[in-house]
């Protein structure tokens, strides 16, 4: 009985939409987007094209280039901040600051940086005599450019989590290691990183899920272009359901089911492979 | 304990039941819901017999200066209605967002009485079976259709009958940077007329600095499907089959034919030769490039002229020229783009429908259109607006705007320049942008790119036609 409120909330906001998604994914739509006839697995077989393969590839690549640099970068930052320097607190705040930006705000800032006509990045490059880079209009550069923006957005949160992890390492362990003569690199690889592994594991799992769900920065920076180079699975779902007067909720729902399956697999694999190496205290 | 819990559950269930009935009651509101005459045009007596004030919800997609012009128009109308009608303007986001919300409102049976929909949503609105065709009101009132610019009206007409009232209309223009022309000794008073001429001039107008860096491009425009639609229309080509979808439902798009491929090839050659900059699909970015003076020739709608003139003040002179043609033999004219007003019948009372029509009639008056024209830069849909004094003064101040009006009047009425009526036109436009972009960035040869793009939209067209056919 005490569980009832949470069960109701879960049923209403998680299970019902999930069931509805499955239902929609097996139905066609009328011109207003309301489900019409039953079409079986048609929406799923529609996905067996090279185009959808490209979407999956883009999604995988985007996840890779936004998760790994953000986690490793945050680790490097946190280890460097371990050094007893003056103003380290200021630096720690500065590195954690991106966390305070919403995705939309940060994306708009990056849109100004990358702007093809009046962008800051090209302005700086021009000042040192380098020809302009088509950040968001060259299909081979757009995805890394959006990935870079995402890394910046995620860095703050990652730094925050890892800093907390470092602070939680018992000082006597570090003290003992220092007495044994471990400093710098050896201290990091032998003591700090293994003791941070729960936090690192958490970040990898959570950032992967976040990356797979990324929407705001893609919508604001590239709208999935150029030449679909930044159309990830979530963006493709959005386009099918809402963009350009489209209301193919059936096709979009089928893709959403695929996204769910991919996330489940990713998370399961991460728990199966990575978690064994995690050292819980 | 058990019994009190049971009683509580019972009471809860009752409350839910009552609440849902209430919600359902609200949803189907209005007095004539789905009755057969929902799509008829009521006469003036409908408003008189309705007691009190009739409220008309008006969804629109105008922002910035244009939203201010809408608010002014609505305030003027409300004041003139003598307290009988109140129009409530509601901004719903972009055109795409407005039509997406409209679709949802149809499902929830809560449509606004009046909605502004972009030109390419017209076929969908006809097929939605929700709206009272404008010609029914026109017949009822003996409204003088000479007050509507015929070239603009033709876009919103199906089988010769007007379905919606044009509201904001724009035509495409070729924009020139006068000083950029003069610096290379080109004559800005003799603007290029064809794509080939733009291409030749673009080479002369591209300027590099000592280090080989390009400081000014000859040409630059957004990868915007509307521009391609316009070029095809000036070439007299129909964008989709079955007489641009005006004889019966269009079954395929035709932008992958020779003329469309030629445009893609021309554009790709300019970009890949370094004579045109590719700023992507966002019109804002292409506009920024022209305003920054880094692009000498540029294609855009008339509706941005005011902003260009303001932004270029003190830096360079903005000139306008008629929209280019694909080649010398092209004998068509551009399509009048923009948006129109639709009156919803289903779920709305006779008084609401009538009140919406009264506002539509008011908005298309000469004085209102002159104010709209000068406040926004859109072409007036009522030719008499051009004779209003504020309009004359404005055109005298911004002579560049003459080009759009002249171009509009020189337009030979044709099926091609009436524009394509297609239920999935917004997606077709997006597909054409996919094709252009693939050619411009060099992902595919132009012909392949346009063929693939046209093929990609086919399933959507088929499924749309199946669901309304």
B107–A129 C-beta distance less than 8 A: no
Residues of A in contact with B292 (CB under 8 A): 117-118
Are A115 and B430 within 8 A, CB to CB? no
- For residue B152, give the H/E element and its range: helix B150-155
Among A36, A134, A222, select the one facing B467 at the smallest CB separation.
A36
Percentage of the residues of chain B whose pLDDT score is greater than 90: 59
- Are A221 and A112 in contact by the 8 Å Cβ rule? The answer is no
Q: What is the pLDDT of residue B270?
A: 96
- pLDDT above 80: residue B26: no
What backbone phi and psi angles, to 5 degrees, belong to A35?
Answer: -65, 135
Q: Do B107 and A118 lie within an 8 Å CB cutoff?
A: no
Domain boundaries, chain B: 40-170+337-387, 172-335+414-457
Q: Which CATH number fits domain B40-170+337-387: 3.40.190.10, 3.60.110.10, 1.10.8.640, 1.10.20.10?
A: 3.40.190.10
Residue pair A207/A67 in contact by the 8 Å Cβ criterion: yes
Q: Closest approach of chain B CAs to the CA of A137, in angstroms? A: 5
A244, B278: Cβ pair inside 8 Å? Answer: no
Q: Is the peptide bond before A226 cis (omega within 30 degrees of 0)?
A: yes
Residue pair B451/B253 in contact (Cβ under 8 Å)? The answer is no
Decide: residue B179, CB within 10 A, 0-12 exposed, 13-18 middle, 19+ buried: middle
- pLDDT tens-digit readout, A203-217: 999 999 999 999 999
Nearest to A245 among B426, B443, B456 (CB): B426
**What are all long-range contacts of A86-93, with beta carbons under 8 Å and residues at least 24 apart?**
A92/A159, A92/A163
The residues in B 94-113 lying below 8 A from A, measured between CB atoms, are 96, 99-100, 103-104, 106-107
> What are B67-87's pLDDT values in tens digits?
999 999 999 999 998 888 999
H/E stretch holding B264: helix B258-273
pLDDT tens per residue, range A100-123:
889 999 999 999 999 877 788 988
End-to-end CA distance of chain B: 60
Q: Please report which confidence band the pLDDT of residue B259 belongs to, taking 50, 70 and 90 as the band edges.
A: very high
**B220/B20: higher pLDDT:** B220
pLDDT of residue B14 exceeding 70: no
Q: What is the largest distance, in Å, between two alpha-carbon atoms of chain A?
A: 74
* Mean pLDDT taken over chain A: 89
More confident residue, B93 or B414: B93
Of A116, A126, A245, the CB nearest to B279: A116
Least confident of A81-90, A99-108, A246-255, B253-262: A81-90
The verdict on a CB contact (< 8 Å) between A28 and B289 is: no
Looking at residue B284, what is its pLDDT? 86
Q: Which of B96, B120, B285 sits opposite A117 (nearest CB)?
A: B285
Of A31, A126, A245, the CB nearest to B127: A31
**Is the pLDDT score of B42 beyond 90?**
no
Helix, strand or coil for residue B337? strand
Nearest to A117 among B99, B213, B294 (CB): B294
Beta bridge partners of B220: B277
Cα–Cα nearest to A70, from A141, A188, A142, A152: A152
User: CB contact, 8 Å: A93 with chain B?
Assistant: no
Question: Nearest CA to B277 among B172, B207, B180, B173?
Answer: B207
For residue A194, is pLDDT > 60?
A: yes
CB atoms within 10 A of CB A146: 27
Backbone angles phi, psi at B55, to 5 degrees: -100, 135
Phi/psi zone of residue A277: left (φ > 0), alpha (ψ -120 to 50 degrees), beta? Answer: alpha
Q: Looking at residue B18, what is its pLDDT?
A: 43
Q: Is B175 helix (H, G, I), strand (E, B) or coil?
A: strand
The answer for B 124-153 residues in CB contact with A (under 8 A) is: 124, 127-128
Counting beta carbons within 10 angstroms of the beta carbon of residue B344, is it exposed (0 to 12), middle (13 to 18) or buried (19 or more)?
A: buried
CATH number of B172-335+414-457: 3.40.190.10
How far is Cα of residue B65 from the mean position of the Cα atoms in its chain? 17
> For residue B411, is pLDDT > 80?
no
For B278-316, the DSSP string reads ---S-HHHHHHHHHTT-EEEEEEEGGGHHHHHHHHTTT-
Mean pLDDT over residues A186-200, rounded? 89
**pLDDT tier at A199, thresholds 50, 70, 90:** very high
> ipTM score here?
0.80
Predicted local distance difference test score (pLDDT) of residue B359: 96
Q: Where are the alpha helices (DSSP H) in chain A?
A: 4-10, 16-25, 42-45, 50-81, 88-96, 103-114, 120-127, 139-167, 171-179, 184-187, 193-213, 216-221, 233-241, 249-273
A31·B124 Cβ contact <8 A: yes
pLDDT digits (tens, 9 = 90+) for A64-98: 999 999 999 999 999 888 776 777 888 888 888 88
Q: Assess B16–A contact: CB distance below 8 Å, yes or no.
A: no
The CATH number of domain A49-101+138-277, selected from 1.20.120.530, 3.40.50.1100, 3.40.190.10, 1.10.3720.10? 1.10.3720.10
**Interchain CB contact of A131 with B (< 8 Å):** yes
Predicted confidence band of residue B36 (pLDDT cuts 50, 70, 90): low
Per-residue pLDDT tens over the stretch B166-189 = 999 888 999 999 999 999 999 999
Interface test with B, best of A52, A117, A138 (most B CBs within 10 A): A117
Chain A residues inside the 8 Å CB shell of B277: 116-117
State which H helix or E strand residue B449 sits in: helix B446-468
Whole-number pLDDT of residue B226: 94
pLDDT of residue A230: 94
Query: Using CA atoms, how far apart are residues A218 and A229, in angstroms rounded to an integer?
Result: 11
Alpha-carbon gap: B426 to the closest alpha carbon of chain A (Å): 5
Mean pLDDT is lowest, of A78-87, B245-254, B334-343, for A78-87
Q: Is B210 an 8 Å CB contact of chain A?
A: no
Q: Which residues of A touch B289 (CB under 8 A)?
A: 116-118
Question: What pLDDT digit, counting tens, does each position of B352-406 carry?
Answer: 999 999 999 999 999 999 999 888 878 889 989 989 999 899 888 888 878 888 8
Averaged pLDDT for residues A17-21: 93
User: Is any Cβ of chain B less than 8 angstroms from the Cβ of A123?
Assistant: no
A28 to chain B, any CB pair closer than 8 A? The answer is yes
Residue A117 to residue B460, Cβ atoms within 8 A: no
Percent over 70 (pLDDT), chain A = 99
Name which residue leads in pLDDT, B309 or A143. Answer: A143
Q: Which of A54-63, B139-148, B453-462 has the lowest mean pLDDT?
A: B139-148
Does B307 reach chain A within 8 Å, measured CB to CB?
no
Chain B residue numbers touching A230 (CB-CB < 8 A): none
A-B CB pairs within 8 A amount to: 102
Going B281 to B285 to B291 to B297, the CA torsion angle's sign is negative
């Amino acid at each position: 009985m005490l569980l009832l409120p949470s069960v109701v909330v879960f049923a209403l906001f998680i299970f019902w939409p999930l069931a509805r998604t499955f239902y929609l994914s097996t139905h066609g739509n009328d011109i207003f987007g309301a489900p019409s006839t039953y079409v079986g697995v048609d929406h799923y077989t529609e996905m067996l094209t090279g185009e959808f393969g490209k979407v999956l590839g883009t999604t995988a690549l985007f996840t890779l280039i936004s998760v790994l640099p953000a986690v490793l970068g945050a680790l490097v930052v946190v280890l460097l901040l371990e050094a007893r320097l003056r103003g380290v607190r200021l630096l720690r705040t500065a590195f954690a600051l991106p966390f305070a930006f919403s995705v939309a705000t940060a994306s708009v800032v990056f849109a100004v940086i990358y702007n093809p006509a009046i962008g800051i990045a090209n302005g700086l490059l021009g000042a040192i005599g380098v020809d302009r880079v088509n950040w968001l209009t060259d299909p081979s550069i757009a995805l890394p450019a959006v990935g870079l923006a995402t890394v910046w957005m995620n860095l703050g949160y990652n730094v925050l989590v890892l800093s907390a992890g470092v602070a939680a390492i018992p000082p006597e362990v570090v003290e003992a290691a220092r007495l044994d003569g471990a400093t710098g690199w050896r201290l990091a690889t032998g003591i700090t990183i293994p003791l941070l592994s729960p936090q690192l594991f958490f970040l990898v799992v959570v950032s992967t899920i976040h990356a797979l769900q990324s929407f705001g920065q893609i919508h604001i920076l590239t709208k999935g272009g150029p030449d679909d180079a930044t159309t990830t699975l979530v963006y493709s779902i959005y386009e099918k359901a809402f963009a350009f007067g489209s209301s193919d909720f059936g096709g979009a729902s089928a893709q959403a089911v695929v996204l769910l399956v991919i996330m489940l697999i990713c998370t399961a694999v991460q728990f199966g492979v990575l978690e064994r190496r995690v050292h819980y205290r | 304990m058990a019994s009190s819990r049971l009683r509580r559950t019972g009471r809860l269930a009752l409350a839910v039941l009552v609440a849902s009935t209430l919600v359902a009651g609200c949803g189907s509101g209005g007095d004539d819901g789905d009755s057969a005459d929902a799509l008829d045009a009521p006469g003036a007596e409908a408003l008189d017999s309705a007691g009190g004030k009739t409220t008309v919800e008006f969804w629109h997609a105008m922002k910035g200066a244009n939203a201010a012009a809408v608010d002014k128009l609505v305030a003027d109308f409300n004041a003139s209605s003598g307290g009988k009608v109140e129009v409530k303007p509601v901004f719903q986001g972009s055109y795409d967002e407005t039509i997406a919300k409209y679709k949802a409102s149809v499902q929830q049976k809560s449509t606004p009485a009046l909605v502004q929909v972009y030109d390419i949503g017209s076929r969908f609105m006809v097929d939605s079976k929700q709206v009272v065709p404008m010609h029914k009101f026109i017949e009822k009132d003996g409204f003088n259709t000479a007050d509507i610019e015929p070239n603009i009206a033709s876009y919103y007409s199906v089988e010769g009958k007007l379905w919606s009232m044009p509201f904001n209309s724009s035509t495409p223009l070729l924009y020139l940077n006068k000083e950029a022309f003069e610096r290379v000794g080109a004559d800005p008073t003799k603007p290029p007329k064809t794509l080939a001429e733009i291409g030749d001039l673009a080479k002369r107008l591209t300027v590099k600095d000592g280090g080989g860096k390009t400081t000014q491009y000859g040409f630059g425009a957004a990868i915007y499907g509307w521009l391609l639609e316009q070029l095809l229309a000036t070439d007299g080509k129909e964008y989709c089959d079955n007489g641009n979808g005006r004889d019966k439902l269009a079954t395929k798009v035709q932008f992958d034919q020779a003329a469309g491929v030629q445009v893609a090839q021309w554009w790709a050659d300019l970009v890949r030769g370094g004579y045109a900059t590719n700023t992507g699909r966002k019109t804002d970015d292409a506009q920024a490039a022209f305003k920054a003076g880094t692009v000498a020739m540029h294609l855009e709608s008339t509706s941005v002229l005011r902003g260009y003139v303001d932004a270029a003040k003190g830096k360079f002179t903005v000139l306008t020229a008629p929209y280019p043609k694909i080649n010398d033999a092209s004998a068509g004219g551009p399509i009048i783009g923009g948006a129109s007003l639709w009156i919803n019948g289903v779920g709305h009372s006779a008084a609401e429908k009538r009140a919406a029509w009264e506002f539509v009639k008011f908005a298309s008056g000469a004085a209102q259109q002159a104010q709209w024209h000068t406040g926004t830069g859109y072409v007036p849909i009522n030719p008499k607006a051009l004779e209003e004094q504020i309009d004359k003064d404005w055109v005298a101040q911004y002579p560049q705007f003459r080009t759009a009006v002249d171009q509009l009047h020189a337009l030979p009425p044709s099926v091609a320049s009436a524009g394509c009526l297609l239920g999935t036109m917004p997606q077709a436009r997006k597909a054409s942008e996919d094709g252009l972009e693939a050619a411009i960035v060099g992902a595919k040869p132009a012909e392949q790119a346009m063929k693939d793009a046209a093929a990609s939209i086919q399933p959507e067209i088929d499924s749309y036609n199946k669901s309304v056919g």
